[in-house]
Amino acid sequence: MNGKQKFYFYLALVQVILVMVFLLTINGLVGFVTAQETNFDYYNSPTTAILAISAAIAISISGLAAAHVIKTVGTAAISAISEREGAFGKVVVIVALGEAIAIYGLIIAILLVFNIPAPP
C-alpha cells in the first residue's frame, strides 16, 4: 500500500470510527441501558462517562488526523508553489480540506457533549 492509499485508508477509518462512536453512544447505549431498569439514574450512569470519553476521542483523533494531513499536504504545497506560483489557489483548497477533518471531529465532540445531561 503506497502513501496515498494509506492516507485515504486512515481517513476513511477515522470517519467510520467517529460515526460508529456517535451512533453507538447516543442511541444504542441509552436505549439499551434504559430498557434494562425501570428506575434508571441517567446522571450517574456509565453512559455519561462514555459520552465524555467519546467526545475526547473524537476531537483528539480528528486533530491528529488533520495534523498529519496538513504536514503531508503542506510540504507538497510548498514544493508546488515554489515551482509554479499559479497553483496557489488549488493548494489552499486542498489544505483547507485537510483542516475540515478537525472541524468534523469538533462538531461530533460538541454534539456528544451537549447530550451529556446536567443534574437538576
- 33 assigned to some structural domain: no
What's this model's pTM, rounded to 2 decimal places? 0.59
- 14 assigned to some structural domain: no
- 30 assigned to some structural domain: no
- Domain residues for the domain of 83 are 65-114
Over the stretch 97-108, which tens digit does the pLDDT of each residue have? 888 889 999 999
- 5 assigned to some structural domain: no
C-alpha cell of residue 106:
469538533
Closest CA to 18 of 62, 77, 66, 69: 62
Q: What is the DSSP letter of 43?
A: G
- 2 assigned to some structural domain: no
Closest CA to 51 of 104, 106, 116: 116
User: Could you report how far apart the first and last alpha carbons of the chain are, in Å?
Assistant: 53
Over the stretch 29-82, which tens digit does the pLDDT of each residue have? 666 566 555 555 666 677 778 888 888 898 999 999 999 988 998 888 888 888
Q: Which residues does 119 contact at the CB level (< 8 Å), separation at least 6?
A: 43
- Alpha-carbon distance of 11 to 15, in angstroms, equals 6
- 4 assigned to some structural domain: no
- 69 assigned to some structural domain: yes
- Alpha-carbon distance of 39 to 33, in angstroms, equals 11
pLDDT at 94 over 80: yes
* Number of compact structural domains in the chain: 1
- 21 assigned to some structural domain: no
